[in-house]
Amino acid sequence: MGHERVQRRGRRRGAAISEAAVLPQPDFKQLRRPYRPVPLVSEDQVDAIHNASLKLLAETGIEVLLDEAREIMAKAGADVRDGETRVRFDPSLIEELIAKAPSEFELHARNPKHTIKFGGDSVAFGMMASAPNCSDIDNGRRTGNQKDYRNFLRLSQMHNVLHFNGGYPVEPVDIHASIRHLDCISDLITLTDKTYCIYALGRDRVADAIEMTRIAHGLTMEEMQDKACMFSIINTNSPLQLDKPMMEGVIALAEMGQPVVITPFTLAGAMAPVTIAGALVLQNAEALAGIAFAQMVRPGTPVIYGGFTSNVDMKSGAPAFGTPEYMKAQHVGGQLARRYGLPYRSSNVCAANTVDSQAAYEAVFSLWGAINGGMNMLMHGAGWLEGGLCCSYEKTIMDIDLLQMVSEFLQPLSTSDDDLALDAINDVGPAGHFFGTEHTQERYRDAFYSPILSDWRNFETWDEAGSPIAIERANRVWKERLAQYQEPPLDMAIRDELMAFVAKRKEQGGAKTDF
């Protein structure tokens, strides 16, 4: 196998990895926040949340439903009592374990140009994940299916501002659950060449994902252990429960050194206290328990601290996103992650049912909270509607535009003498105009971000054109763009090996569906 691998690698390197040339795109680039994240609360307040979380883990403890996980925890020094699923952790044990996680790591894509960093001031955006439904304004809302799943992957691949795939943009329920992961990961590998999230639904599926990813990267198992090539989101069962398939997933991923993103879903007023501080205590306790567990399995496992605290509508119990409370939680979540020296995950979310102004303002508030809060990994970057129940084609385009604007905002502002433009100002002089000057003519093509959706025509021209609103423009754009999709190159031998593996696993019946 080693010899074969080298050959494959050689071929892959030899193949021209051409960027799709049809759709003009900004370069794929690692983004960096040019300023320090915003501390919304004092260090003392961060300590108060930290201390309360550790007290919770020490005294109340957390339910761990998987026997194997409790055994690992007992061996690592946690307080595991016979016949009890409740596990308690000494504060110093948690702190020691958390310190073993790397503060930064690289996540490799099969196209090395699409490898990205997490941690420090790095920022990366991912496509939406895990919607049960999808929609566009031509055909309305429908249950997730493979055709739409693939289209969203294609849109994700085409847009360089999306750095990774956060999972299945929409759940293709027309594929049987036993083999869905095989087809979906196969598509993630062939339709895109960016890195991706796999679902940690039990050992079998994670083992398949590891093997498929190993094949895609042309690595041996030993090589992959030191190389993060995929990741998984681990949602705790708030409050205070770690369920079986997720813990099996953490074990399998950590053993292979693949990153886990521990994200409690702590909705204030529902699965968490009605106060944002209380919800953050719960979020932090659960995140620390999961992160500590990953370090017990394999010290040094790359982890990301995930924050997903929001509030519910107290009249209806409906989850709300992009609210002031969500933004506060994003900021303080980042402060906690930095206290532990861990990369931080946040999300671009909203509760709107269509791409109206509500969808936009909730999304931009989420982005503001994420950037200010020190987010390194943005999940659900493009497409999210309805609190996550729907991935929308039009929202995907709007979000790509929003992310491109944020990306442009994060680019350093040059203050070279040329940019300060004293000569140009002097040449134009009072009451002049800069439009026709050489200084302008030399720069105007790339001077400013050119938006996908924004309509800057004056009212009269816009009105005569039929008063198109943003969602209508987005509808036109996604269809035009999708038509230009080109599959990224993939070495034929890798493709064959991948397909053979998928065929074999399908023959074997895939994975259990009783999780």
10 Å CB burial of residue 6 (0-12, 13-18, 19+) is exposed
> DSSP code of 112?
G
| Cα–Cα dist 290/59, whole Å | 17
Residue (56 or 229) nearer to a copy of itself, CB: 56
385 forms beta bridges with: 390
- 3-state SS record for 53-68: HHHHHHHHCEEECCHH
Are 258 and 231 in contact, with CB atoms under 8 Å apart? yes
Convert 399-416 to b/e letters by CB count within 10 Å (16 or more is b): bbbbbbbbbeebeeeeee
Q: What distances in angstroms separate CA 255 from CA 100, 180, 211, 259, 355, one per listed residue?
A: 15, 24, 13, 10, 42
Residue (173 or 469) nearer to a copy of itself, CB: 469
| The token pair that represents 415 in the structure block | 């203050």
Q: Least CB distance from residue 189 to a copy of itself, whole Å?
A: 32
- 3-state SS record for 158-219: HCCCCCEECCCCECCCCCCCCCHHHHHHHHHHHCCCCEEECCCCCHHHHHHHHHHHHHHHCC
Q: Least CB distance from residue 71 to a copy of itself, whole Å?
A: 19
Q: Least CB distance from residue 324 to a copy of itself, whole Å?
A: 4
| Cα–Cα dist 307/331, whole Å | 10
Q: Least CB distance from residue 477 to a copy of itself, whole Å?
A: 13
Residue (156 or 266) nearer to a copy of itself, CB: 266
Residue (332 or 382) nearer to a copy of itself, CB: 332
Q: Least CB distance from residue 70 to a copy of itself, whole Å?
A: 14
Q: Least CB distance from residue 29 to a copy of itself, whole Å?
A: 15
Residue (190 or 236) nearer to a copy of itself, CB: 236
> DSSP code of 121?
T
Residue (115 or 404) nearer to a copy of itself, CB: 404
Residue (277 or 482) nearer to a copy of itself, CB: 277
CA 127 to chain centre: 7
Q: Least CB distance from residue 480 to a copy of itself, whole Å?
A: 18
Residue (26 or 102) nearer to a copy of itself, CB: 26
Q: Least CB distance from residue 17 to a copy of itself, whole Å?
A: 29
Q: Least CB distance from residue 450 to a copy of itself, whole Å?
A: 8
Closest CA to 101 of 362, 243, 290, 282: 290
Closest CA to 155 of 477, 451, 408: 477
CA 398 to chain centre: 17
- Enumerate residues 6+ apart whose C-beta is below 8 A from 157: 191, 192, 193, 194, 485, 488
Residue (304 or 371) nearer to a copy of itself, CB: 371
Q: Least CB distance from residue 393 to a copy of itself, whole Å?
A: 14
Residue (15 or 420) nearer to a copy of itself, CB: 420
Element (H, E) at 473: helix 470-482
| Cα–Cα dist 390/353, whole Å | 9
268 forms beta bridges with: 272, 311
